[in-house]
Amino acid sequence: MDKEISKSQQREDDEETMNLISSLPSDVDFEGTKLFKYQGCWYNDKTLQAILSFQRDFEPQDTDIIVASFPKSGTTWLKALTVAVLERSKHSSDNHPLLLENPHTLVPFFELRLYMQSSKPDLTKISSSPRLFSTHVPFQTLKEGLKNSSCKIVYVCRNMKDVLISFWYFKCANQEIEKEKNSLESMFESFCTGVSYYGPFWEHILSYWTASLQYPKNVLFLKYEELKTEPHAQLKKLAEFLDCPFTLQEEESGSMEEILDLCSFSNLKNLEINKTGRTPGGVAHKNFYRKGEVGDSKNNLTPVMEKRLDMIIQEKFRGSDMKF
């Protein structure tokens, strides 16, 4: 009987989802993929279905921690740092979870993993405490899924020119295709118009920037570039925000350096699990570690492209005190 009810509930949910998706504005991106605009952001239908399931069914706990970002902004790094901060002192240096698993396995995406694999994932299997999740959706969409809980959200933002280039390399690596100028140019065009997967980027960033000002206890806004230039200060900020600040003794005994070394680009990139493993969706872990530098867009974008993106950034962020 219960099974019958849940089956008919599932049918109703599916129908509601399909009706909603077909009522949304749609467009195509640079690859000809149909995208739908939901709550101000563009998604393909598979991702959107997962987002709708997440919003409808996720049961948050106030202790949950969510790592959020626009794709290619340093998500993998922030996931690793978050795990390392929370798990410190629980593991010896040779059985740390980050040595055995990719950060995306330890901190699963709501819409790209959990709710994409199943519209009703079994979250009781998650053993970490607090529970760690991640997402690429903008704040307003995440907030709806988190209902009125007081979860903590850590967002990482990165210079959009570097994000674009990182995205391009990532796509070419995943699809095992040549890095041709043409594909970068069309991707660039989608990026600039905003009709791109998870775009427009400016609205994405501003949604979390505004939320971090409005709910400073619940939303922390970090920048990739600052993690690079002042890692200790940013790590301290992260630990304080997560309510597990470094003690003086930890600071003196080198606990922060240990975490930064463990999560460093070269360390993670060279671990066996990250050289050979794949995500459940089939993405090679190694594709999440490319160069890990600030300013690589200079080597790939023409001055005209750079100028156009600079102008978009200037225009879209005018009036906010958000600085790149």
Q: Which residues are catalytic?
A: 136
CB environment 124-156: b (16+ within 10 A), e (fewer): eeeeeebbbbbbbbbbebbbebbeeeebbbbbb
Q: Which of 47, 53, 82, 166 binds ligand A3P (CB under 6 A)?
A: 166
Q: Of the two residues 19 and 299, which places its CB atom closer to ligand A3P in the complex?
A: 299
Query: How many Å apart are CA 137 and CA 199, to the nearest integer?
Result: 10
Query: How many Å apart are CA 216 and CA 210, to the nearest integer?
Result: 10
Q: Quick check: 296 binds ligand A3P (CB under 6 A)? A: yes
Q: Quick check: 77 binds ligand A3P (CB under 6 A)? A: yes
Query: How many Å apart are CA 263 and CA 261, to the nearest integer?
Result: 5
**Structural contact between residues 310 and 322, judged by C-beta atoms closer than 8 angstroms:** no
Pairing of strands 65-69, 219-223: unpaired
Query: How many Å apart are CA 159 and CA 168, to the nearest integer?
Result: 15
34 beta partners: 28
Q: Of the two residues 275 and 291, which places its CB atom closer to ligand A3P in the complex?
A: 291
CB of 213 to ligand A3P, least distance (A): 23
Q: Which of 137, 263, 309, 312 binds ligand A3P (CB under 6 A)?
A: 263
Q: Which of residues 52-71 bind ligand A3P (CB under 6 A)?
A: 69, 71
**Structural contact between residues 163 and 294, judged by C-beta atoms closer than 8 angstroms:** no
By CB under 6 A, how many residues form the interface with ligand A3P?
21
Q: Quick check: 107 binds ligand A3P (CB under 6 A)? A: no
Q: Of the two residues 143 and 158, which places its CB atom closer to ligand A3P in the complex?
A: 158
Q: Quick check: 82 binds ligand A3P (CB under 6 A)? A: no
Binding site for ligand A3P (CB under 6 A): 69, 71-77, 162, 166, 169, 263-265, 268, 288-292, 296
